[in-house]
């Protein structure tokens, strides 16, 4: 993770992670006949050699694959929670939750792009802040990376409302990957998830958490400041730790149950661990979708 | 708002404690940013604005609890709230003899009854007679009918008039009663002698209205027998004072009991008239009357006891140097006819009915001590000045009296805690005891003994002068030597009256054959006896008396104890016969000062005295409410404190 963190840009980080993860492991799941040429893309190990444009290879001495817009193409929408709570970083050696989520979503986006899936972006905070329609081209990837990298966290989240807004925009049967800490009212969130499920979207929840949120292993006693609404609480950590862990555990359980009822999955990501888990979850879900 | 015990309010200073603790409590300074506080919830304490307000409210409640406790202990009450719209009336009744003057009593009482009849429901009234001492006939009450009835049945007595004590007592009583309007109804004849000693320039306190009646006019015809004096075995001189300016013809009738001994016509001139009366030598007492009666009949008759009694000598033991006591005793003859003779101790037996005063050590050594023992054994009256000599100390110790020499550098000592009720202080009755308190002593002895009753004490409370209950006889032990080295008392003006009265009391021969006045306390011979009015005849049965009596009617009384029968003539105080009113009615009305009193009443609520304050507080019981509020505040504090703890 430290190596990843040291890389200068999100694009590089995503490429580094994906290159290492996918090298030689997967064949493209793309199947079926092409309908309409879309673009060329560079050959990636694992691509089907039958789709290599040999004529172009003869002219340029480089391997390229022809991309087609297919009716069965998967649309992946990557949703990033940009609220202030996602800006939390308990220790300097760790990355913030939003940085971690950016990387995870960028990696998923890159994976989708390489696999020919169209991927879009939704930045959510108090409202739907930015929306990028699903494409699978390389320029779209760069635009995706640029937007996700430039987002500034802040304010509160209305995740449920944003998801409902997003449901109006995205085509049915898409895959929606939500990177958030899901600090949202459960009934609202459940309604939004049900709405997405109604349109037959596949849901993947990336529950991004700082280790402190999971373990509550602080040794400080003092005023706790809610980074979103500015509320303060005088907290004796030792006194409230058990209660916190119980409540947090119940919250996570409820969230898992919520996604399961909607046919989705939740992957819990700690910012002190590798975001690869997120890609694994994505790929596993994708293979089920296709 | 007033307070019964305002000292407890100082307890409110404890408010500083919670305030101090509030500001000194540990406050976490670290601020921990956290993504969401939703999982901390009730387990933690919110440091929100609301929470901070709650903490301030908690502090306020704590302060209020302490303040309320202090207030409850201080017993609050609203001054005068209980009787907001009511009035209090004290009827001060002059029941002195002068009120017997023709028409006075009925007129003044009728005025008072009219005034009392104006009282309404909720008003309070009390009836006080002023003489011989201020006494409540009906204490302050809501029962106005009872006051009216007592007033209608009241009768004047034979007492001397002195308004100062009655005025003071009535004002104090009114001050102690909570009421919107407080009135002192002054039912008196404003006799001049009665107002003597009253500071007329000082009006009654604000908030009290003094209602004076009409000043009685000077009588048209008034004379009084002010003194009877024996001048020889068969002659009595009557002194008659005519108070009216014009000459008056009267007839003087004198006799004993029902037996008339003579009468003579006299022409009285204004002022004193002396009338010699020839009487038989064998009569025991003489009654002298004047006819026809004038405006005040009560002082037209006087009595004198004429029976012989053993000499009134006081026996003194010899001392070296000047004998101050002998000089003092001899000088009592200049005071009045009850003067005493000082003589030395006889060589033989000491007569048991003469007081003996002992000062020297030789009196307690043989051979004199045997006579002393015999004298004391016979119940002889004795006064001992303690000099601390071994013989005296040993003799006193044998009688159960211990003397302890005083020491210390705080000399001179003075005597204090005088028993003002003791008969030997009769000479100071109604006067200041200050002269007795100013006597300096350089030497002294503390007296101890179960048979001793203190008359005066040293500054540290030890007994200095005591009555020794010697088998019913009278004896005094003075814990100091009577020498100029030991005390400056012989040079003080208070010395002669004290010695005179002490010797009189010891010998029980005071006021016996001579003038005794209404209001005087008459010391009786030792032992219990019967006391009855001989002249005028009293159909009621004799009553048992001992110690002293204070007759309220003029006449001749007899005290009988065994074989001892003694007569006492009790006459009207001569000053009471002067019916002239206070010469300047304006001065009396200035005392009432109605304008100022009314103004002050409007400005400031009347303040109650200690008793009234306690009554008001007791009626209102505000402290219960304050305590209840304290309990509620405490519960609220507990509830808030639980939320704001940590």
DSSP B96: B
- Determine the distance in angstroms separating the CA of A261 from the nearest CA of chain B, rounded to an integer: 24
B546 or B186: whose pLDDT is higher? B186
* pLDDT for B280 beyond 80: yes
Identity of the residue in A213, A234, A248 whose CB atom sits nearest the CB atom of B45: A234
With an 8 Å Cβ cutoff, is B645 touching chain A? no
CATH code of the domain containing A140: 3.40.50.410
Top residue of B31, B35, B55, B645 to mutate, by most chain A CBs within 10 Å, is B35
CB nearest to B48's CB, from A183, A232, A247: A232
Closest-CA residue of B relative to A210 is B35
Average pLDDT over all residues of chain B: 82
Q: A248 and B36: CB-CB below 8 Å?
A: no
CB count within 10 Å of CB B324 equals 20
Q: Which of A85, A220, A236 sits opposite B36 (nearest CB)?
A: A85
Residue B395 has pLDDT above 90, yes or no: yes
| A103 part of a folded domain | yes
Residue A158 and residue A64 share a domain = no
State the Cα angle at B404 between B402 and B406, rounded to 5°. Answer: 155
Judging contacts by C-beta atoms under 8 Å, the chain B residues touching residue A239 are 43
Please tell me what DSSP assigns to residue B489: G
Q: Average per-residue pLDDT in chain A? A: 82
**Which of B38, B39, B49, B52 should be substituted to probe chain A, the one whose Cβ sees the most A Cβ atoms within 10 Å?**
B39
> Is residue B230 over pLDDT 80?
no
Contact at CB, A233 and B37, closer than 8 angstroms: yes
Dihedral sign of CA atoms A252, A255, A261, A264 in order: negative
Specify whether A103 is located in the same domain as A243: yes
Contact B50/A at CB under 8 A: no
Chain A residues within 8 A of B44 when measuring between CB atoms: 224, 233-236, 240
| Residues from chain A contacting residue B32 (CB–CB below 8 Å) | 218, 220, 222-225, 235
Q: Is there a contact between A183 and B45 if contact means CB atoms under 8 Å apart? A: no
Whether residue A224 sits in one domain with residue A84: yes
Answer whether B39 sits within 8 Å of A251, measured CB to CB: yes
Same domain, yes or no, for A37 and A164? no
With CB atoms and an 8 Å threshold, state whether B47 touches A239: no
Q: Is it true that the peptide bond before A107 is cis, omega within 30 degrees of 0?
A: no
Chain A contact present for B643, CB below 8 A:
no
- Residue A269 inside a domain? The answer is yes
Q: Is B197 exposed, middle or buried (0-12, 13-18, 19+ CB in 10 A)?
A: exposed
Question: Do A63 and A149 belong together in one domain?
Answer: no
Count of CB contacts below 8 A, A vs B?
90
Give A244→chain B minimum CA distance, Å: 5
B297-304 mean pLDDT: 90
Q: Name residues 230-269 of chain A within 8 A of B (Cβ).
A: 231-236, 239-240, 243-244, 247-248, 251
Distance in Å, alpha carbon of A258 to nearest chain B alpha carbon: 19
Q: How far apart (Å, rounded) are the C-alpha atoms in residues A30 and A41?
A: 14
Kindly list the residues from chain A whose CB atom is less than 8 angstroms away from the CB atom of residue B30: 220-223
Same domain, A59 and A181: no
Taking the C-alpha atoms of residue B288 and residue B490, their distance in angstroms, rounded to an integer, is: 41
CA–CA distance, A14 with A11 (Å, rounded to integer) = 5
Sequence-distant (≥ 6) Cβ neighbours of residue B388 within 8 angstroms: B403, B405, B445, B481
Interface list for A 81-120 with B (CB within 8 A) = 85-86, 88, 97
Domains of chain B as residue ranges with CATH: 2-29+42-79+622-644 (no CATH), 87-216+581-607 (3.40.50.410), 223-308 (2.60.40), 313-507 (3.40.50.880), 516-571 (no CATH)
> Are A234 and A90 contained in the same domain?
yes
| ipTM greater than 0.85 | no
Stretch B384-411: mean pLDDT: 89
Instruction: State residue B436's pLDDT score.
Output: 87
Residue-wise pLDDT tens digits, B69-106:
999 999 888 765 555 557 889 999 999 888 888 888 88
Q: Is residue A146 part of a domain?
A: yes
Give the model's pLDDT for residue B397.
92
* Cross-strand partners of B273: B240
Q: Which domain holds residue A80?
A: 2-16+72-289
Q: Tell me which of A92, A98, A235 to substitute to probe the interface with B (most B C-beta atoms closer than 10 Å).
A: A235
User: What pLDDT, in 10s, does the model give residues A239-270?
Assistant: 788 888 999 999 999 999 999 888 888 888 89
- Residue A191 covered by a domain: yes
Same domain? A57 vs A107:
no
Question: The tokens of A88 are what?
Answer: 């939390």
Q: Is B369 helix (H, G, I), strand (E, B) or coil?
A: helix
**Contacts A220 to B, Cβ<8 Å:** 30, 32
Residue B413 is classified by DSSP as B
Instruction: Give residue-wise pLDDT tens across range B335-387.
Output: 665 667 788 888 877 876 678 999 888 889 988 888 888 888 777 788 999 99
**A43-47, A195-199, B52-56, B545-549 — which one is most confidently predicted on average?**
A195-199
pLDDT 10s digits, B133-172: 889 999 888 888 999 999 999 999 888 888 888 888 888 8
Residues 172-211 of A with CB under 8 A from B: 181, 183, 210
**Tokens read off for B211:** 């209602």
Find the closest chain B residue to A209 by CA distance. B35
Q: How many residues does chain B have?
A: 646
Angle at B272 between CA B509 and CA B220, to 5 degrees: 120
Q: Are A212 and A270 in contact (CB under 8 A)?
A: no
Give B35 to chain A, closest Cα distance, Å: 4
Percentage above 70 pLDDT, chain B: 85
Nearest CA in chain B to A249: B39
Cβ B486 vs Cβ B442: under 8 Å? yes
Dihedrals phi, psi of B85, to nearest 5 degrees? -115, 15
**In this complex, is the C-beta atom of A276 within 8 Å of any C-beta atom belonging to chain B?**
no
Judged by average pLDDT, the poorest of A32-36, B34-38, B256-260, B459-463 is: A32-36
If asked whether residues A7 and A41 sit together in one domain, one would say no
Residue A23 is assigned to a structural domain of this protein: no
Torsion angle of alpha carbons A211, A216, A220, A223, nearest 10°?
A: 100
> Is the pLDDT score of B41 beyond 70?
no
User: What's the domain count of chain A?
Assistant: 2
For residue B332, what pLDDT is reported?
76
Name which of A168, A163, A176, A241 is nearest A203 in CA terms.
Answer: A176
Question: Would residue A186 count as lying in a domain?
Answer: yes
CA pair distance B556, B287, nearest whole angstrom: 9
Question: Which residue shows structure tokens 């022409």?
Answer: B267
Helix axes A97-114, A276-289, angle to 10 degrees: 40
Strands (DSSP E) found in A34-81: 36-42, 64-69, 75-81
Residues belonging to chain A: 290
d(CA B597, CA B606) in angstroms, rounded, equals 10
Is residue A22 one of the residues assigned to a domain? no
Structure confidence at residue B505 as a pLDDT band (50, 70, 90) = confident
Mark the ranges of chain A whose per-residue pLDDT is less than 50.
23-34, 71-72
Least confident segment among A178-182, B12-16, B321-325, B365-369: B321-325
Smallest Cβ–Cβ distance between B33 and the set A181, A227, A251 belongs to A227
B428 neighbors B497 (Cβ within 8 angstroms): yes
Q: CB of A281 within 8 A of CB of A175?
A: no
With beta carbons under 8 A apart, name residues in chain B contacting A235: 32, 40, 43-45
Contact yes or no for B35 and A88 at CB 8 A:
yes
% residues pLDDT > 90 (chain B): 20
Residues A182, A55, single domain; the answer is no
Contacts of A233 in chain B (CB under 8 A): 37, 40, 44-47
Mean pLDDT, residues B492-519: 73
Q: Say whether residue A55 is in contact with chain B using an 8 A CB cutoff.
A: no
Instruction: Extract the tokens encoding B604.
Output: 């400031």
- Domain check: are A81 and A124 in the same one? yes
Q: Provide the 10 A C-beta neighbour count for residue B121.
A: 7
Answer yes or no: is pLDDT of B461 > 60: yes
Residue with tokens 């002219």: A59
| A85 token code pair | 């709570």
> What is the chain B residue with the closest CA to A85?
B35
Backbone angles phi, psi at B495, to 5 degrees: -70, -50
A143 and A50 share one domain: no
Determine contact, residues A224/A235, Cβ cutoff 8 Å.
Answer: yes
**pLDDT band at B53; cut points 50, 70, 90:** confident
Read off the tokens for B421. 């009720």
Q: Stretch B48-61: mean pLDDT, rounded? A: 80
């Amino acid at each position: 993770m430290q190596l990843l963190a040291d890389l200068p840009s999100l694009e590089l980080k995503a490429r580094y992670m994906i290159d290492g993860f996918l090298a030689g492991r997967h064949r493209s799941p793309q199947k079926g006949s092409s309908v309409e040429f879309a673009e060329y893309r560079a050959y990636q190990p694992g691509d089907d050699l039958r789709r290599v444009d040999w004529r172009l290879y003869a002219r340029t001495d480089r391997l390229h694959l022809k991309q087609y817009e297919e009716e069965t193409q998967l649309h992946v929408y990557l949703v990033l929670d940009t609220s202030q709570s996602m800006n939390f970083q308990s220790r300097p050696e760790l990355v913030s939750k939003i940085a971690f989520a950016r990387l995870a979503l960028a990696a998923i986006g890159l994976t989708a792009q390489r696999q020919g899936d169209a991927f879009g972006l939704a930045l959510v905070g108090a409202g739907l802040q930015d929306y990028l329609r699903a494409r699978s081209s390389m320029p779209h990837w760069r635009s995706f990376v640029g937007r996700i990298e430039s987002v500034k966290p802040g304010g509160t989240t209305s995740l449920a409302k944003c998801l409902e807004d997003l449901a109006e925009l995205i085509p049915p049967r898409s895959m929606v990957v939500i990177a958030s800490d899901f600090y949202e009212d459960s009934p609202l969130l459940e309604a939004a998830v049900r709405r997405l499920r109604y349109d037959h979207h596949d849901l993947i929840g990336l529950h991004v958490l700082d280790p402190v949120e999971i373990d509550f292993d602080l040794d400080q006693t003092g005023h706790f400041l809610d980074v979103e609404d500015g509320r303060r609480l005088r907290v004796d950590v030792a006194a409230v730790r058990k209660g916190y862990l119980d409540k947090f555990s119940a919250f996570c359980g409820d969230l898992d149950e919520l996604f399961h009822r909607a046919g989705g999955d939740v992957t819990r990501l700690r910012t002190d661990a590798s975001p690869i888990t997120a890609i694994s979850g994505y790929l596993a879900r994708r293979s089920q979708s296709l | 708002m007033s307070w019964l015990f305002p000292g407890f309010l100082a307890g409110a200073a404890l408010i500083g404690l919670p305030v101090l603790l509030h500001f000194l409590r540990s406050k976490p300074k670290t601020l921990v940013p956290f993504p969401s506080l939703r999982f901390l919830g009730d387990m933690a304490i919110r440091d929100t604005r609301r929470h901070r307000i709650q903490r301030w409210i908690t502090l306020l409640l704590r302060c209020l609890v302490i303040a309320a406790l202090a207030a409850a202990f201080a017993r609050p009450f609203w001054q005068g709230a209980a009787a907001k719209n009511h009035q209090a009336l004290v009827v001060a009744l002059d029941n002195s003899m002068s009120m017997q003057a023709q028409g006075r009593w009925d007129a003044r009482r009728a005025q008072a009854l009219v005034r009392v009849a104006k009282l309404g429901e909720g008003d309070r009234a009390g009836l006080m007679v002023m003489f011989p001492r201020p006494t409540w006939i009906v204490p302050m009450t809501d029962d106005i009918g009872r006051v009216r009835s007592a007033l209608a049945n009241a009768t004047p007595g034979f007492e001397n008039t002195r308004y100062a004590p009655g005025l003071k007592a009535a004002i104090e009583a009114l001050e102690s009663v909570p009421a919107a309007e407080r009135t002192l109804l002054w039912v008196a004849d404003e006799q001049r002698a009665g107002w003597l000693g009253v500071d007329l320039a000082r009006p009654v306190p604000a908030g009290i209205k003094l209602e004076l009646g009409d000043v009685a006019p000077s009588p048209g015809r008034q004379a009084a027998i002010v003194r009877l004096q024996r001048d020889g075995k068969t002659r009595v001189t009557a002194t008659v004072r005519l108070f009216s300016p014009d000459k008056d013809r009267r007839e003087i009738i004198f006799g004993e009991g029902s037996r008339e001994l003579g009468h003579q016509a006299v022409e009285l001139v204004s002022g004193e008239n002396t009338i010699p009366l020839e009487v038989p030598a064998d009569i025991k007492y003489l009654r002298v009357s004047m006819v026809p009666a004038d405006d005040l009949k009560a002082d037209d008759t006087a009595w004198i006891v004429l029976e012989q009694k053993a000499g009134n000598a006081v026996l003194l033991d010899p001392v070296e140097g000047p004998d101050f006591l002998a000089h003092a005793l001899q000088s009592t003859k200049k005071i009045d006819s009850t003067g005493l003779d000082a003589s030395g101790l006889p060589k033989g037996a000491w007569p048991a009915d003469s007081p003996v005063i002992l000062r020297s050590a030789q009196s307690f050594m043989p051979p004199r001590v045997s006579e002393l023992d015999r004298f004391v054994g016979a119940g002889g009256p004795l006064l001992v000045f303690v000099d601390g000599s071994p013989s005296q100390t040993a003799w006193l110790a044998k009688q159960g009296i211990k003397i302890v020499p005083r020491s210390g550098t705080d000399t001179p000592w003075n005597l204090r805690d005088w028993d003002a009720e003791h008969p030997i202080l009769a000479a100071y009755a109604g006067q200041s005891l200050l002269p007795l308190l100013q006597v300096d002593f350089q030497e002294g002895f503390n007296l101890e003994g179960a048979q001793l009753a203190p008359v005066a004490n040293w500054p540290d409370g030890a007994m200095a002068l005591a009555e020794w209950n010697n088998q019913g006889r009278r004896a005094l032990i003075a814990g100091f030597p009577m020498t100029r080295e030991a005390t400056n008392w012989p040079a003080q003006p208070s010395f002669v009256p004290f010695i005179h009265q002490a010797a009189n009391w010891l010998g029980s021969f005071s006021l016996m054959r001579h003038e005794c006045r209404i209001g005087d306390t008459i010391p009786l011979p030792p032992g219990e006896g019967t006391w009855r009015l001989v002249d005028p005849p009293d159909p009621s049965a004799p009553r048992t008396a001992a110690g002293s009596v204070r007759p309220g009617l003029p006449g001749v009384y007899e005290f009988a104890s065994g074989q001892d029968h003694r007569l006492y003539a009790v006459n009207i105080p001569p000053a009471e016969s002067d019916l002239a009113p206070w010469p300047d009615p304006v001065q009396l009305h200035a005392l009432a000062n109605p304008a100022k009193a009314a103004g002050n009443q409007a400005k400031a609520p009347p303040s109650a005295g200690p008793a009234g304050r306690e009554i008001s507080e007791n009626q209102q019981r505000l402290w219960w409410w304050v305590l209840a509020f304290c309990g509620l505040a405490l519960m609220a504090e507990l509830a808030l404190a639980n939320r704001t703890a940590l």
